[in-house]
A and B are shown apart, each in its own frame.
Chain A
Amino acid sequence: MNSSNSVDVNGNAIRLIREQKGLTQLYLATVVGVTTDTISRWENRRYPSIKLENAKKLAEALEVSLEELLEAEAGAEGEDGSVAEGADSAAVQTATETSAAPIAAGRLQRLLARRRLWIGVGGGLLAVVVMVGFAVWSNRSDIRATRTMPTHTAPNLPFPVLIQTTGAVEAHNTLLIREELLGDCEAVGPADEGAAKQFGKNPRWIGKLSNGKAVFLYLVEPGKKLRPDEEIGFSGDVISREGQSAGDAIGGPTRIVIAPYHWVDSDKDSVISDSEILKAYETYSIPGENLINFTAIEELWLAGKYAWNKKTQTFVPSSLADGKE
């Protein structure tokens, strides 16, 4: 709608209704009080803007409600005709033509104003979307935590579990690693004031990333009642942001199987090879930490071969008969 006393009507609708009712342009022109040229112009333009008074007369002449003649598409631009219609003489029509330039300028201004409005609204929405996106992005969790542990261990043999955390979290952000063990076992952490920290089934670690990395090592002592082929399960997450209720899940293996082989002996051939002991050192030894009894592992490695003693539930070194590793 262009102004309070004019409306945008649907030119196509006028023509369609008129033809459906078998009315002529002359009839409409006579009833409304305009020329046939004016009626023709209204019909030939998609959304002519006409005086409200004439629109009502037009609706009466077509025997429809005014709403049925109004523009059907929101935001559609009105067509010229607001001055030409309403005149009942050729003189007025001539005047319309002579005043076309200022009318066009007015419409252009209205058009630009509408466009500015839409651009403003669109720009505002875009800015909101960008700000929300940035807020989400800046608050996202870059933390990645991975669990590393052996595939198997013996019934009575403690084994290490390493949680390696990497991320771009600022140094002041504190991390909370929460692990949960399922099965007959107990977790033990690094010594705290001389005594090893007893975690039970819920190892916890609070710390910060250093150069984008953090490592949490703990030992799990399988229960003595566990038998070969039974399992210990793991699940855990990392909390890295204030107010974070659900943590980021820790990736990596989630179970370990009980077997009569040392956890270092990854291929279960009863021999701890050079490659296997080096892997154990490289993966689980942390400077300053003495959680793992590497001395016992070295004894089995040097012996060449080992055997599982069911009675004592321990490994016994046994030299290879052929001297091979």
Chain B
Amino acid sequence: MRPFLVQILLALIFGGMAAAESGVVGRYLAGGGSDVQMLLTIQKPVPAAFIVLQQIPPGVKMTSASPAPSGFVQDGATVKWLVKRPRPGSLILSMQLSRQVAEEQLQGEISYRHPENGSLVVRKISY
């Protein structure tokens, strides 16, 4: 089976599991390694924008990412994605690292303003 088909299949499976939560939730699809994938599930009410922050372990560099990140902070130690006008459904962020990392070294979070009350919501990306 081709990799992108696997991604879609996994997105459908985990997307359904995350459907019970509202807003935006994230989960790492690949358990470590150099290819890291995050599945983001977006539920109604959908925020106008959300930010994904991914920490890069010390000594590791990000070689590529899809979609391209909005920017970096702390000399590349943190990657930022600003997702504007998301639609309900699933979104996969993937990045390739310069070397393999253990699953527990992956740390990321999603933040957004709640569309109904404006409060700031910050969620860890789960394994």
Q: Return B85 CB to nearest CB of chain A, in Å.
A: 7
Q: Report yes or no: B82 in contact with A275, Cβ–Cβ below 8 A.
A: no
Q: Report yes or no: A278 in contact with B50, Cβ–Cβ below 8 A.
A: yes
Contact of B113 among A278, A287, A294, A304 (CB under 8 A): A278
Q: Report yes or no: A323 in contact with B113, Cβ–Cβ below 8 A.
A: no
Q: Which residues in window 179-193 of A have CB below 8 A to B?
A: none
Q: Report yes or no: A281 in contact with B71, Cβ–Cβ below 8 A.
A: no
Q: Report yes or no: A324 in contact with B112, Cβ–Cβ below 8 A.
A: no
Report the Cα distance A323→B72, complex, angstroms: 10
Cβ of A230 within 8 Å of any chain B Cβ, yes or no, is: no
- Please judge, given known A-B contacts A278-B111, A323-B74, whether A285 and B82 are in contact too, CB under 8 Å: no
- Please judge, given known A-B contacts A274-B51, A298-B70, A304-B73, whether A281 and B111 are in contact too, CB under 8 Å: no
Cβ of B23 within 8 Å of any chain A Cβ, yes or no, is: no
Cβ of A73 within 8 Å of any chain B Cβ, yes or no, is: no
Q: Return A147 CB to nearest CB of chain B, in Å.
A: 16
Q: Which residues in window 278-325 of A have CB below 8 A to B?
A: 278-279, 281-283, 285, 287, 294, 298, 301-302, 304, 323-325
Report the Cα distance A278→B48, complex, angstroms: 8
Q: Report yes or no: B74 in contact with A281, Cβ–Cβ below 8 A.
A: no
Q: Report yes or no: B74 in contact with A287, Cβ–Cβ below 8 A.
A: no
- Please judge, given known A-B contacts A278-B51, A278-B113, A298-B82, whether A283 and B118 are in contact too, CB under 8 Å: yes
Cβ of A277 within 8 Å of any chain B Cβ, yes or no, is: yes
Contact of B120 among A278, A285, A304, A325 (CB under 8 A): A278
Q: Report yes or no: B111 in contact with A275, Cβ–Cβ below 8 A.
A: yes
Q: Which A residues are in CB contact (< 8 Å) with B104? A: none
Cβ of B10 within 8 Å of any chain A Cβ, yes or no, is: no
Looking at chain A's contact residues, is the secondary structure mostly helix, strand, loop, or mixed?
Answer: helix
- Please judge, given known A-B contacts A278-B51, A278-B113, A281-B84, whether A323 and B73 are in contact too, CB under 8 Å: yes
Task: Return the CB mask of B88-106 against A: 1 if under 8 Å, else 0.
Answer: 0000000000000000000
Q: Which residues in window 32-86 of B have CB below 8 A to A?
A: 47-51, 53, 70-71, 73-75, 77, 80, 82, 84-85
Q: Report yes or no: A323 in contact with B75, Cβ–Cβ below 8 A.
A: yes
Report the Cα distance A323→B112, complex, angstroms: 22
Report the Cα distance A301→B80, complex, angstroms: 11
Q: Return A135 CB to nearest CB of chain B, in Å.
A: 36
Cβ of B115 within 8 Å of any chain A Cβ, yes or no, is: yes
A-B contact pairs, 21 of them (CB 8 A): A277-B82, A278-B49, A278-B111, A278-B113, A278-B120, A279-B118, A279-B120, A281-B48, A281-B84, A282-B48, A282-B113, A283-B118, A285-B49, A298-B70, A298-B82, A304-B73, A323-B74, A323-B75, A324-B73, A324-B74, A325-B73
Contacts A275-B120, A294-B84 known; 10 new A-B pairs at CB < 8 A: A278-B47, A278-B51, A281-B49, A282-B115, A285-B84, A285-B85, A302-B71, A323-B73, A323-B77, A325-B73
